[in-house]
Structure 1
C-alpha cells in the first residue's frame, strides 16, 4: 500500500538560487519513512530506537526536475520487498507539473549493537500486509 505525505518546499530546503538543495530531499525521504513506521505500521521510531533501529543501508535517487520555494510536493512511499532483516522502499515525489525525484532505499532492522536482526514477527506481518504479500 502506498503512503503519501504532502510537503511544502520551505525556505530552509532551498539554496541561494531558490531550488531545493539535493541533500534536503534525503531529509524528506527519511521524514516520510519515519511517518510511515509510526502511522501505518504503529511502530514509532522514538520507541523502536530505544533498543533497535532501522538505518538506511542503501539509497539511490534519480532527480527528474527541480523544486522551488513554495512548491507543494506529494511524496509517496511504497514498500517493495521485505527480507529477513531489511525492507526495500520506493519514494516518488511529484509537484503540480510532474515527478521531481524517484528514490529507492533499503532499511535494515538492527539491534542495540548495530548488527542486523530479524524483524520482530508482529512488525514483519504489518510490513508484509503493506506490501500486499500473503
Structure 2
C-alpha cells in the first residue's frame, strides 16, 4: 500500500467550500503517479525510451462523504490484481480515519501506436 498526502485548496472546491466531485479523480491520479515513482519507475523516461504510457481504462468509484476546503487528505493506493496487460488498483481518499471516496481503477499500458501492451517487466519486478 502506498500513501500520498494532500490538502484541499480553494481551487478544489465549489461555491460551498466542498470538493468538486471530479477533483477526487485528480487526487487519486496524483496518488497513482507517486505510487509508480515510489516503485522506481520513471514514466517520462518510459515514454521517451519506448513510447509506452500508463492510461486509465476504467474507474468504478463511490463518493461516500464530502471533503472541504482546508482538509488534509490521504490517498491510499493498493494493487488488487496484476494481470498480463492490466492492473487493478484500489484507491481510497481519507480524512483521518473517515473514508470519503473509494475507486477501483483499471490501468493498462499503451504503445506509441495506441496498442495495448503487456505490463513492463520493471513494474512486475517492483511488485514482486
Q: TM-score, normalised by structure 2?
A: 0.93
1:22-61 to 2 correspondences below 5 Å: 22-39=21-38, 41-50=39-48, 51-61=51-61
**Paired position in structure 1 for 2:91:** 91
State whether residues 110 and 117 of structure 1, in contact with CA within 8 Å, keep that contact through their aligned partners in structure 2. Answer: yes
Gaps of 5+ in 2: none
Q: How many residues of Structure 1 are paired with residues of Structure 2 in the alignment?
A: 126
Give SS of 1:4's match: strand
Distance in 2, Cα, partners of 1:97 & 1:117? 38
State whether residues 34 and 44 of structure 1, in contact with CA within 8 Å, keep that contact through their aligned partners in structure 2. Answer: no
**Paired position in structure 2 for 1:11:** 10
| CA drift at 1:102 | 0.7
Would the alpha carbon gap of residues 119 and 96 (structure 1) be closer, same or farther in structure 2, given more than 3 Å must change?
closer
> Once the two structures are superposed, what CA deviation does each residue of 1:61-116 show, in whole Å capped at 9, x if it has no partner?
10110000000111100011111111100011111361101111000011111111
1:59-98 to 2 correspondences below 5 Å: 59-96=59-96, 98=98
> If each structure's strand is expressed as a fraction of its own residues, which one has the higher value?
2
